[in-house]
Each structure stands twice: as C-alpha cells, then as structure tokens.
Amino acid sequence: MILSDTEILRHIRQGTIVIEPFRPECLGTNSYDVHLGKTLAVYTDEVLDARRHNRIEYIEIPDEGYVLQPNRFYLGVTEEYTETHLHVPFLEGKSSVGRLGIDIHATAGKGDVGFCNHWTLEISVKQPVRVYAGMPIGQLIYFEVCGEIATPYNRKQSAKYCQRTPLPVESMMWRNFPPDER
C-alpha cells in the first residue's frame, strides 16, 4: 500500500519519515517531490572496475545551469536529506524530467527501511540537456511493510551508504570483495 499525503504528513509528525528541508508545497497526493542538489560527480577513469574503488570528481552546478551530455554518466544528489524508519521509500523521476530525456536512476530506485541520507542519483540523458540546482528531479513514494524488520539498513554491518553527506556517493561495490581480491 502506498502512503497518501495525509499519511506522509502523519509519519513526518511522528518522526518515522524525515524530510529536510520539508516544503509543504512539494507534497503530492501520494508522493513528495525532491530536488537536484548543487553537486554532480563523474568517474575519472574511462573503465570502471567493480573490485576497485573508482574515483570521482565533483562538479558544482553554476547558477546558469550545467549541460549534461549523452554517453556520459553522472551521479547527482537530492537537496533533501531523508530518513525512513517504517516504510520502503521508492524514488521515481518526475514525468516532466523524463520528458526531457533524463533518467535519474539506472537500478537503485528503491531504498530500505532505515535508509537515512541524501539520495544519490544515477543520471543519464538521451540528448544534451541543461539542468539546474534546485530543480524538481524526482518524487518519493512510501510503501508499507508487512511484518517486522529484523535489522534496519542504518544498523546493518554491511551497509555501505550510511555516512551522511550532501554529495553524490560513488559505487561501493568494491567493499563486497575481500581485501586480498581488491
């Protein structure tokens, strides 16, 4: 079951959903609009290695915007910091963003109960498009969970994306391999 606007607000008041900053005008009928943060990241190596820590460089989006290019992969970030303690959050691109040919996630649209951070976006575009910090980029939808959660994401030893940061976070896949295989 997807939470309605009144249920999202109720859970915000209870503290089981946190959205910072929260703007009432961003609350939809059954979702909450999130915005593109001011920082993008790109990988510095042409070939990425799943067993290695691939380095990134950051790009600050200027006031006049930044043109994203096809055949280039960008990591973005939401302005909003979120916490979800009882629900499964899903991040979907806004239809107006999709109609510009912007995809905001390749595979990671679902969060976990216990996810507490800014959302890293996996951005690709179909043709050159100028984006701006603060523009609406996606919407969070909250699903109810059936059954108790044994270990929320933010308490898992294996959780790789728990360090709070307003910057895009690169893949931590390399942490899945033993140190002698990296």
Q: Are 138 and 94 in contact (CB under 8 A)?
A: yes
Six-digit token string for 29: 């009928």
Measured between alpha carbons, how far is 102 from 127 in angstroms, rounded to an integer?
A: 9
Task: Show which residues are catalytic.
Answer: 122
Q: How is residue 161 annotated by DSSP?
A: S
Measured between alpha carbons, how far is 12 from 14 in angstroms, rounded to an integer?
A: 5
Q: CB-based contacts of 26: which residues, under 8 Å, 6+ apart?
A: 32, 33, 34, 136
Measured between alpha carbons, how far is 79 from 75 in angstroms, rounded to an integer?
A: 13
Angle at 59 between CA 53 and CA 61, to 5 degrees: 145
